[in-house]
Structure 1
Amino acid sequence: MKLLSWNIRGLGKPEKKGRIKRLLKDKHVDIVFFQETKQAVDSENVARKLWGCRNMDFMSVDPVGSAGGLLCIWDPSVFQLSGCCCNRRYILLSGSLYNSFDCVLINIYAPNNPSARTSFWAGIVKLKDHFPAPWCMGGDFNEIRHIGERIGCSRRDMGMKHFNEFIEKCELHDLPLHGRKYTWCNAQEAEKWSRIDRVLLSPEWLISFRLKLWGLPRLVSDHCPLLLMEDERDWGPKPFKFLNAWTLHPSFSKFFVNIWSSTTVTGWAGFRIVQKLKQLKTELKKWNVEVFGHVTSKLKALEAELHTLDILAEDGLLDDSGRSRRRVVRGEMWHLLRMVEWIWHQKSRLNWTLNGDKNTRFFHVFANTRHSRNMISSIVVNDVSYEDPSRVQLEVYQHFKKLFAEDWVKRPSLTCFIFSLSKFISQT
């Protein structure tokens, strides 16, 4: 799935429409949000000039005079619409992706006036009760989240505070932007920069999809297009990581000692410990699958069994052995719950005692967010950008190979100098 959001600052010129159409085609966009169309899109023919000959549905909001205007176009085989609502500042589409993931898509163009913007946030929050499915909100929010997202522009602390409160109330996550730092620039002087365009997602999106947000080059607008897409590139095998939750398993300590003591390696000390660690890693991978197993699936099975035993207890059909089994199942369930939450807590790298939140979904989202923020998705070498994983890996390898290599073909020799020095000392 690919979603593009763009404040295009008017659709008027044919050249502009042609450039937009080529971009949507080249990037294989499935859903597009346009802000500030500045003209009415009242027929399929007008939308078709932007979308091309592919299957499409669309919904638009007319501008007020020559200001504003919103347009959403989507491929009906990707997004199936079931409900909608709109006003001059947003278009809300409720439906499902690929007939499997229920969601809400919202195209936003927030007011420029700070007080009007605050009222606008309050109105959007109320929509959450009527449309509870996971939200994907993209567009021009006309506000930044912190002062680092703006250069050369006036500072509005209260506006930032209200915007951050709005995001928190809606329980949305602000995707990190790849490819560039700012999304808007004043076209004349190029001295004012802001990140006022963004895409906000509910946690369910981050759990179900591996999404990246890219800032594309500014072309025919002073805003850059934002492309939300799944990262399906193959980066090779994942590095081995030790999970603290393994230590909760009753057989782990004995298994660890047996593997370490039974691995015999000859050689110098550094070589021996490296080889023993390699063997331990291999055995831990096997143990994780065969013994530790799939904790989540085991947890679901225990929860289902506990529910069945509770139903029998409610009907008075649970004997002594059943009550004993229920105590065992409940204990095992809580033990596995602790394992699951510890796993995601470690992956998210949050301080458990400081945070105090034992919600696995919370840690799952933070783990995915941290992975998305820290991942090297592209690399620039000699002003050339590379995104292919194999090329990125090659350039990183070449960089460090050169960094640790010696430029000298032949090291200088101090033999003659040492011989002359020793001869001088002996004579004196």
Structure 2
Amino acid sequence: MECNQKILFWNVRGLNNGAKRTAVRSVITATLPSIVCLQETKLAAVTDSLVLDTLGPLYEGFYSLPADGTRGGIILAWRSPDVSISNPHIGDHHITALVTPSDGSGHWWLTRVYGPQEDAAKLDFLNDLRDVRASRIGPWLLGGDFNMIVAPDEKNNPHINHRCMNRFWWFIADEELRDLYLHGRRYTWSSEREAPTLVRIDRVLCTSGWEITHPNCLLQCLSSAASDHCPLLVDCVSRPPSVRRFHFERFWPKLDGFHHMVSEAWNSVHPDPDPNRRIVARLKITAHRLQSWSARTIGNVSLQLKVAREIIARLDAAQDFRPLSHDEAWLRRKLKCSYLGLASLERSIARQRVRLAWLRGDDVAVSYLNIHASHRKQRTAITSLQVGAQTVTSHDAMAEAAVSHFSGVLGTAEAREFSIDQSILRQYTSPLDDLDEPFSEEEIWRAVQCLPSGKAPGPDGFTTEFLRASWDIIKQDIYDAFNKFYTANGRGFQKLNEALLTLLPKRADAAALSDYRPISLIHLIAKLFVKVLSLRLAPKLGGMVSTNQSAFIVGRCIHDNFFLVQQTARLLHNLKSPRMLLKLDIARPSIASRGLSFWRH
């Protein structure tokens, strides 16, 4: 569903003076949300002129909850060209209303909350929200200042009310709500002191139905310039779809005509004497042909399901008043049979998108898979980057910053003052001649079978499933490339040695590029080269690597090093002689290792 809405949730901490209203209006003018939800207005009465002064002339309708003295108060306003809001229910700590987009895309419920401060009132507040949900059917979005947290890491000190925290957590679980991922910030409120208390008490929750109808929504944290709370902006504006690169679908090999299409496309390229260039050209034409074949054979599965449901529903309605003709009965049976296959295909596509390795069997709804994929997309989306003292938001500026940063990190040689004296290191004496043996077809095929399934593809777009399904067609070209690789002839290999870098956040408040972990998605053929070499080397690592190295070696456990250090420390303590233990920082080994005996100038 296309959606062009922005929803702003903000605890403004009072609107009683003109300067505060002007500051709030500047934020609203800069973001232009369709719906504005302000809390803690501290206004006993909300007039049209005050709303006009705070929000501007674009917001024609509003509902309000008066403040209790100088505490509380909520304003819910909207822009009529974008949405209409009706059926308000005003409680002690919330306003709930029905939101109907102007494009007729489907209504949903919105609840704007401002949670109480007292612990006893917080439990009544959660029960009130349960009653609100029980009396309203449909997608639901609720947000604001709950004055509660759901986990200890949402506060920067240990003073936590675990009883209220657990009750809030159970409320979210019982109502089957999803906590929208917050981009760029870890906390939303500050005590504004020299040693501030930081807490995430502002959040936005939603039901699965709302998330399904708004798959591209992003929750962003804006500047807290005019309050001690950060404004939360739910951005559901439809973004232009990016050019989708080729991605091999795991269900393609199960369809009739797949092997014929791959054989025809693979052999349509004139054989190049260079196997590396030949493979690149054949993969490219095969990808293009598979996309065209899939569009003709399968098409838009979701659209076909909708059309099938509509036609079956109309035939069912006609059957209530008259017998169906022979052609109509045949069409109804055919559509029902096709619908089962399309539903199964839709599930396969959703499973590939979500890539949950632990998921087994088919006892999972497609909606769950779509929600999980949407949530992962929200979590990994990069909306801005901190570059020095500046914050860049445009795609081109962020791409330029990423290229500049990782060009200085990856593959950069640094001048070193020390080197390793390998003569005092333990030498490996077992024979290694078999590592230099020529590659065989059986060895390569064994590596293909060992490659993991369901992994993200590299720049070529092909996955391990393609190798296994099409091995009889492509194996000779792969074998030729391995033979060239064996002769140390790297001409033409640069096309197979390309990779994509994708950035995954290391922390919830990732801002700079150093807060992201680069993941390399290499070419399928390069991945196969690496796998063959690793399978040759793996059986010999146990004898080549010292027993002190306990990680990443088959038959060893990383916890062994912990016990070794523990027992060593106890032994040194019992000896009562001066000793020193050094902890080597893996990120900066050159700093921690200077002065050790095996380093020489």
Give yes or no for the alignment of 1:12 onto 2:10.
no
Q: Which residue is 2:471 aligned to?
A: none
Task: Give the whole-Å Cα distance in 1 for the aligned partners of 2:355 and 2:235.
Answer: 26
Task: Give the whole-Å Cα distance in 1 for the aligned partners of 2:36 and 2:361.
Answer: 37
- The Cα shift of 1:276 comes to 2.0
Q: Tell me which moved more, 242-251 or 118-127.
A: 242-251
Q: Do the aligned residues in 2 keep the contact of 1:345 with 1:352 (CA within 8 Å)?
A: no
Q: Which residue is 1:76 aligned to?
A: 80
SS state at 1:262 partner = coil
- The Cα shift of 1:202 comes to 2.9
Q: Which residue is 1:119 aligned to?
A: 124
After superposition, the Cα gap between the structure-2 partners of 1:263 and 1:206, relative to the gap in structure 1 and judged at 3 Å, is farther
Give yes or no for the alignment of 1:364 onto 2:367.
no
SS state at 2:64 partner = strand
- The Cα shift of 1:108 comes to 0.3
After superposition, the Cα gap between the structure-2 partners of 1:146 and 1:257, relative to the gap in structure 1 and judged at 3 Å, is farther
What is the CA deviation profile of residues 388-419 of structure 1, one whole-angstrom value per residue up to 9, with x for unaligned ones? 112112222223333346579xxxxxxxxxxx
Task: Give the whole-Å Cα distance in 1 for the aligned partners of 2:164 and 2:99.
Answer: 32
Q: Which residue is 2:227 aligned to?
A: 221
**Which amino acid is 2:40 matched to?**
E
Give yes or no for the alignment of 1:245 onto 2:251.
yes
After superposition, the Cα gap between the structure-2 partners of 1:131 and 1:402, relative to the gap in structure 1 and judged at 3 Å, is same
Q: Which residue is 2:141 aligned to?
A: 136
Contiguous gaps of at least 5 residues in structure 1? 409-428
Q: Do the aligned residues in 2 keep the contact of 1:179 with 1:216 (CA within 8 Å)?
A: no
Task: Give the whole-Å Cα distance in 2 for the aligned partners of 1:301 and 1:58.
Answer: 39
Q: Tell me which moved more, 335-344 or 223-232.
A: 223-232
Map 1:166-185 to 2 at 5 A: 166-185=171-190
Task: Give the whole-Å Cα distance in 2 for the aligned partners of 1:407 and 1:328.
Answer: 65
Q: Which residue is 1:197 aligned to?
A: 202
Q: Which residue is 1:212 aligned to?
A: 218
Q: Which residue is 1:284 aligned to?
A: 290
Q: Which residue is 2:575 aligned to?
A: none
Q: Which residue is 1:416 aligned to?
A: none
Task: Give the whole-Å Cα distance in 2 for the aligned partners of 1:254 and 1:120.
Answer: 63
What is the CA deviation profile of residues 263-312 of structure 1, one whole-angstrom value per residue up to 9, with x for unaligned ones? 34414333332222222221222122222211122223434454566667
- The Cα shift of 1:313 comes to 7.3
Map 1:209-358 to 2 at 5 A: 209=214, 210-232=216-238, 234=240, 236-307=242-313, 317=323, 328-351=334-357, 353-354=359-360, 357-358=363-364
Task: Give the whole-Å Cα distance in 2 for the aligned partners of 1:403 and 1:61.
Answer: 54
Q: Which residue is 2:583 aligned to?
A: none
Q: Do the aligned residues in 2 keep the contact of 1:39 with 1:63 (CA within 8 Å)?
A: yes
What is the CA deviation profile of residues 330-359 of structure 1, one whole-angstrom value per residue up to 9, with x for unaligned ones? 332211111001111221223574586432
- The Cα shift of 1:58 comes to 1.6
After superposition, the Cα gap between the structure-2 partners of 1:342 and 1:8, relative to the gap in structure 1 and judged at 3 Å, is same
After superposition, the Cα gap between the structure-2 partners of 1:99 and 1:321, relative to the gap in structure 1 and judged at 3 Å, is closer
Task: Give the whole-Å Cα distance in 2 for the aligned partners of 1:391 and 1:233.
Answer: 18
**Which amino acid is 1:290 matched to?**
R
Task: Give the whole-Å Cα distance in 1 for the aligned partners of 2:56 and 2:221.
Answer: 23
Q: Which residue is 2:577 aligned to?
A: none
Give yes or no for the alignment of 1:59 onto 2:63.
yes
Q: Do the aligned residues in 1 keep the contact of 2:38 with 2:75 (CA within 8 Å)?
A: yes
After superposition, the Cα gap between the structure-2 partners of 1:68 and 1:153, relative to the gap in structure 1 and judged at 3 Å, is farther
What is the CA deviation profile of residues 201-235 of structure 1, one whole-angstrom value per residue up to 9, with x for unaligned ones? 23344333321111111113221111111355557
Q: Do the aligned residues in 2 keep the contact of 1:57 with 1:74 (CA within 8 Å)?
A: yes
After superposition, the Cα gap between the structure-2 partners of 1:286 and 1:356, relative to the gap in structure 1 and judged at 3 Å, is closer
| Root-mean-square deviation (Å) | 2.8
- The Cα shift of 1:318 comes to 6.3
Task: Give the whole-Å Cα distance in 2 for the aligned partners of 1:307 and 1:3.
Answer: 36
Q: Which residue is 1:152 aligned to?
A: 157
Q: Which has the larger radius of gyration?
A: 2
Q: Do the aligned residues in 1 keep the contact of 2:189 with 2:201 (CA within 8 Å)?
A: yes
After superposition, the Cα gap between the structure-2 partners of 1:2 and 1:341, relative to the gap in structure 1 and judged at 3 Å, is same
Q: Tell me which moved more, 83-92 or 122-131.
A: 122-131
Task: Give the whole-Å Cα distance in 1 for the aligned partners of 2:323 and 2:238.
Answer: 52
After superposition, the Cα gap between the structure-2 partners of 1:102 and 1:316, relative to the gap in structure 1 and judged at 3 Å, is closer
Q: Tell me which moved more, 316-325 or 129-138.
A: 316-325
After superposition, the Cα gap between the structure-2 partners of 1:301 and 1:25, relative to the gap in structure 1 and judged at 3 Å, is closer
Q: Do the aligned residues in 2 keep the contact of 1:38 with 1:63 (CA within 8 Å)?
A: yes
Q: Which residue is 1:374 aligned to?
A: 380
Give yes or no for the alignment of 1:30 onto 2:34.
yes
Q: Which residue is 2:111 aligned to?
A: 106
What is the CA deviation profile of residues 126-160 of structure 1, one whole-angstrom value per residue up to 9, with x for unaligned ones? 22233223222110011222222221142334433
Q: Which residue is 1:412 aligned to?
A: none
Q: Do the aligned residues in 1 keep the contact of 2:261 with 2:290 (CA within 8 Å)?
A: no
How many residues are matched? 409
- The Cα shift of 1:102 comes to 0.8
Task: Give the whole-Å Cα distance in 1 for the aligned partners of 2:145 and 2:209.
Answer: 23
Give yes or no for the alignment of 1:93 onto 2:101.
no
Q: Do the aligned residues in 2 keep the contact of 1:212 with 1:231 (CA within 8 Å)?
A: no
SS state at 2:76 partner = strand
Q: Do the aligned residues in 2 keep the contact of 1:183 with 1:223 (CA within 8 Å)?
A: yes
Task: Give the whole-Å Cα distance in 2 for the aligned partners of 1:59 and 1:315.
Answer: 48
Q: Tell me which moved more, 80-89 or 97-106.
A: 97-106
**Which amino acid is 1:207 matched to?**
I
Q: Do the aligned residues in 1 keep the contact of 2:147 with 2:201 (CA within 8 Å)?
A: yes
**Which amino acid is 1:271 matched to?**
R
Percent identity among equivalent residues?
27
Task: Give the whole-Å Cα distance in 2 for the aligned partners of 1:279 and 1:11.
Answer: 63
Task: Give the whole-Å Cα distance in 2 for the aligned partners of 1:257 and 1:194.
Answer: 60
Task: Give the whole-Å Cα distance in 2 for the aligned partners of 1:214 and 1:317.
Answer: 57
SS state at 1:173 partner = strand
Q: Tell me which moved more, 62-71 or 346-355.
A: 346-355
After superposition, the Cα gap between the structure-2 partners of 1:158 and 1:343, relative to the gap in structure 1 and judged at 3 Å, is farther
Q: Do the aligned residues in 2 keep the contact of 1:234 with 1:389 (CA within 8 Å)?
A: no
**Which amino acid is 1:242 matched to?**
F
SS state at 2:107 partner = strand
**Which amino acid is 2:30 matched to?**
D
